[in-house]
Amino acid sequence: MASPDDPIRPFWFIPSHGDGRWLGSGEGARSTEFSYLAQVGQAADRLGFEGVLLPTGRTCEDSWVIASALAPLTQRLKFLVAVRPGVTSPLFAARQAASLDRVSGGRVLINVVAGGNPAEAAADGVFLEHDARYAATDEFLTGWRRLMAGEKVDFDGRHLRLQGAELLFPPVQSGGPPLYLGGSSDPALDVASRHIDVYLTWGEPPHQVAEKIAQVRRRAEAAGREVRFGGRFHIIVRETEEAAWTEAERLISRLDDTVIADVQASLSKQDSEGQGRMMALHGGRRDRLMIHPNLWAGIGLARGGAGTALVGSPENIAKLIGDYRALGLETFVLSGYPHLEEAYRVAELLFPRLNIAPLDYGPRPTITPGRAGEAGGHFHDLNRGQAASATGPS
């Protein structure tokens, strides 16, 4: 069992869909400019966050492009980027991941997103129902794991077929970048237990998080595996409790009831069980936002996805993080509005009260050269019996 005093791994968030000081208002909003995203990424790197989550979806800049641009501007920061089975193929995504892993010196982590918004999935050309998306994800990750292990893969599943798939430029990290996944449904928990390295939960009250962790552990043990755990929270930390809760109220002070109703109506059309659980915490009501001591659901009035925040003094937030750590959460993916200033505030006020896992200051890993290349034999082996121009670089 974990202890409240065990080390944690803090992550921050790159606001690639925009940023600002109020939810539900354009007042003081910060547009999605790379120069600003670079400031946030470099601040997280400097302050000692282990990594950053880059969000995915049609309202965000592409996480792969942003991570690629941030990699040379940072030193130790890891990048949790999204792979969306069904939108991309296992081999294509594996090539992207291996290349970014090589370019960044082994600083890539993979967030597996099966998708919870049917309209967005349809816009991306994916028309599978909820459970079928997870079945397709299971097949995708089966192929992915074999590709990352250096195998040549032939696979014939219900949703996916691979023929002669092979990854010619290996990733830096042995076995490929670690896989993360969040999801609350039975199919999501099954996929996590079979394939995932770190299961992420949104910031539900501790007793609900404990239930999820227990379910994933049982299923993973049955599959002969171990899974690590993390949580996704917003955070509002101030020198005193009063100042923190005043800031929480200020953050939603521009949010009117019409906007709240519109947001909740839109979110109700999703088929994500996790989104449904987030919405049930507050029911769209301002008088139901305190869901556990120092845990506040006000963020979920204005946005989908993670909708709760750790709110309070450094002492009380550190205690709540310790409670979650004792349940098994190790990685804490945090965010706050606006993200640049709040990264500094979290590091300066909260980090001294946490046992943070040491960062790797060692030498950069050795990157094995790829086997392909027009001047080498492997390129010609791949194209034996064909005109090189038919399948080679162009």
Is position 293 within any domain? no
pLDDT, residue 375, reads 57
How much of the chain exceeds pLDDT 70, in percent? 93
Is position 324 within any domain? yes
Residue 226 has pLDDT above 90, yes or no: yes
pLDDT, residue 121, reads 86
pLDDT, residue 372, reads 57
**pLDDT-based confidence at residue 309 (cuts at 50, 70, 90):** very high
Report whether 217 contacts 248 (CB < 8 A). no
Residue 362 has pLDDT above 70, yes or no: no
What is the tens place of the pLDDT at every residue in 144-194? Answer: 999 999 999 999 999 999 999 999 999 999 999 999 999 999 999 999 999
Q: Domain count for the chain, please give it.
A: 1
Residue 387 has pLDDT above 50, yes or no: no
Is position 1 within any domain? no
Question: In residues, how long is the chain?
Answer: 394
Biggest alpha carbon–alpha carbon distance for the chain: 74
**E-strand stretches of the chain:** 9-13, 51-53, 78-83, 108-112, 153-156, 161-165, 179-182, 198-202, 228-237, 290-292, 295-296, 309-312, 329-335
pLDDT, residue 392, reads 47
What is the tens place of the pLDDT at every residue in 104-144? Answer: 999 999 999 997 788 888 898 889 999 999 999 999 999 99
Per-residue pLDDT, averaged over 16-39, amounts to 94
Is position 206 within any domain? yes
Is position 352 within any domain? yes
Residue 99 has pLDDT above 80, yes or no: yes
| CA 115 – CA 133 distance, rounded (Å) | 8
The domain of 344 spans 9-242+316-383
pLDDT, residue 374, reads 62
pTM (predicted TM-score): 0.93
Is position 263 within any domain? no
373: region left, alpha or beta (phi > 0 left; psi from -120 to 50 alpha):
left
Name which of 269-273, 340-344, 364-368, 369-373 the model is least confident about.
369-373
Q: 3-state class of 290 per DSSP?
A: strand
Is position 285 within any domain? no
Per-residue pLDDT, averaged over 350-379, amounts to 76
Is position 95 within any domain? yes
What is the tens place of the pLDDT at every residue in 195-223? Answer: 999 999 999 999 999 999 999 999 999 99
Per-residue pLDDT, averaged over 20-34, amounts to 92
What is the tens place of the pLDDT at every residue in 245-284? Answer: 999 999 999 999 999 999 999 999 999 999 999 999 999 9
**pLDDT-based confidence at residue 388 (cuts at 50, 70, 90):** very low
Q: Which CATH number does the domain housing residue 13 bear?
A: 3.20.20.30
Question: What's the mean pLDDT when you consider all of the chain?
Answer: 92
